[in-house]
């Protein structure tokens, strides 16, 4: 089966890196906004947020994953499942294979 995702968007905040037993993981969220018109001709926007994880990313790349930067990520879709308040919570995220920068910012 094929599990490949391509998503383009802007980072909503600076990335966060965490050291685990396996490796370093960098987490970030990206948003993509689509504009469309309703049947009545009204202009609308719909924003989709996607969580991403990059394992073992080089330092130079992590330093460029800043709020507002536009990227295209490719990777596989994964599911996070956990219990909270006696309820099973499920969320989807992308484990990145590649990250391409469409624009960058200087680290402050």
Predicted pLDDT of residue 21: 81
Question: Hey, what are 79's tokens?
Answer: 């599911």
- At 87 the pLDDT is 94
Domains of the chain: 5-101 (2.40.50.140)
Q: Would you state the pLDDT for residue 107?
A: 52
Q: Please say whether the beta carbons of 54 and 25 come within 8 A.
A: yes
Q: What is the pLDDT along the chain (108 residues), one digit of tens a residue?
A: 899 999 999 999 999 999 888 789 999 999 999 999 999 999 999 999 999 999 999 999 999 999 999 999 999 999 999 999 999 999 999 999 999 999 777 555
- Count CA atoms within 13 Å of residue 5 on its CB side: 17
Would you give the distance in Å from CA 59 to the centre of its chain?
Answer: 18
Q: Residues 36, 56: contact at Cβ < 8 Å?
A: no
Contact 35, 4 (CB under 8 A): no
Question: Are the C-beta atoms of 53 and 97 separated by less than 8 Å?
Answer: no
How buried is residue 78: exposed, middle or buried, by Cβ count under 10 Å (0-12/13-18/19+)? middle
pTM, full prediction: 0.84
Please tell me the predicted confidence (pLDDT) of residue 103: 78
So what's the pLDDT on residue 23?
A: 86
Task: Note the pLDDT of residue 108.
Answer: 53
């Amino acid at each position: 089966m094929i599990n490949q995702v391509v998503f383009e968007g802007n980072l909503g905040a600076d990335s966060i890196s965490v050291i685990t037993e396996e490796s370093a993981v960098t987490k970030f969220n990206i948003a993509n906004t689509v504009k469309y018109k309703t049947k009545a001709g009204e202009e609308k926007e719909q924003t989709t947020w996607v969580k991403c994880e990059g394992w073992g990313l080089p330092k130079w790349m992590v330093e460029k994953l800043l709020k507002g930067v536009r990227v295209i990520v490719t990777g596989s879709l994964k599911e996070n499942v956990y219990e909270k308040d006696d309820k099973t919570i499920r969320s989807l995220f992308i484990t990145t294979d590649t990250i391409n920068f469409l624009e960058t910012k200087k680290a402050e």
